Structure 1
């Protein structure tokens, strides 16, 4: 199994219906950076907005532009990416005591994904890591972790409504 197939499988293990949306892929652009990753995030947001489960909560919503997405992202240290990824997949944004999947399952998948991208991977979130605030990408509650090794990318976004 190639790296892309393994990334896709690992990210699929972190997905939960109607709550945690994921994507993994390979960039087609030469030397991709944050704008190319933001474009993939925008595509994932469009998928969520078109999902029957969320369309009624997002009337008239259009994903932010690539520059707007770029400005909403904060860097995450590589050593913290696996635990953050597991948290996005498991801990409910509205009810933190609720788990979307077993923590051990999420930790195994997150460890696998982060190791596939490697120690030089770069990670971003829409959370301000200093104060814990969230730069929302939707009008609802959302939590994103995006990573890339410069060739492949992974995205995990949990969405919730109160």
Structure 2
């Protein structure tokens, strides 16, 4: 069994590996709230959106941007099957949304880090995305083209956001 400290350290290491300057933002941590669920995970997404919006690269395009409230973020998220989480997270970190031929990370780096993050949250982890698989739509959470993958084991979380100019 993996200790809480090892899970947290592992998730943070994966987040650091998956993040890229200006385009892919990733946060990982441990919830402080009792019995966290989707609203607490959406709140972490809101914090990541605020971090992105504060980045000088994006701030000038959306001055005064404030992330949507938690209920709107919850409504934008769709369940993602656990077996789809690692490939989806790796693709979010590696392949540019706007220019799919552009790579942010080498595929093997993204695959390894995403697989490790999913493994650390375990087979019972819950995963969410802003992509609606039934119709192919994306429920945008920012003023830009964006993609989100977020997961939790009920104690720890990882949230990844890729943004591209609209």
Q: TM-score, normalised by structure 1?
A: 0.98
What runs of 5+ residues in structure 2 fail to find an aligned partner? none
Question: Secondary structure of the residue that 2:113 maps to in structure 1?
Answer: helix
Q: Which runs of 4+ in 1 moved over 2 A?
A: none
- Find out whether 1:4 has 2:15 as its counterpart: no
Deviations, residues 77-100 of structure 1 (Å, cap 9, x unaligned): 000100000000011010011111
- Find out whether 1:86 has 2:80 as its counterpart: no
Instruction: Tell me which residue corresponds to 1:116.
Output: 120
How far is the alpha carbon of 1:130 from its aligned partner? 1.2
Between the aligned partners of 1:72 and 1:43, the Cα distance in structure 2 is 16
- Report the more deviating stretch, 130-139 or 114-123: 130-139
Instruction: Tell me which residue corresponds to 1:128.
Output: 132
Q: What's the C-alpha RMSD, in Å, of the aligned pairs?
A: 0.9
How far is the alpha carbon of 1:60 from its aligned partner? 2.4
Between the aligned partners of 1:47 and 1:78, the Cα distance in structure 2 is 27
Between the aligned partners of 1:58 and 1:128, the Cα distance in structure 2 is 25
What runs of 5+ residues in structure 1 fail to find an aligned partner? none
Question: Secondary structure of the residue that 1:2 maps to in structure 2?
Answer: helix
- Find out whether 1:151 has 2:151 as its counterpart: no
Between the aligned partners of 1:140 and 1:52, the Cα distance in structure 2 is 15
Q: TM-score, normalised by structure 2?
A: 0.95
Instruction: Tell me which residue corresponds to 2:45.
Output: 41
Between the aligned partners of 2:69 and 2:46, the Cα distance in structure 1 is 7
Deviations, residues 46-75 of structure 1 (Å, cap 9, x unaligned): 111111111011122110000000000000
Between the aligned partners of 1:74 and 1:32, the Cα distance in structure 2 is 17
Question: Secondary structure of the residue that 1:155 maps to in structure 2?
Answer: strand
The size of the alignment, in residue pairs, is: 162
- Residue 101 of structure 2, aligned match among 97, 113, 130: 97
Instruction: Tell me which residue corresponds to 1:138.
Output: 142
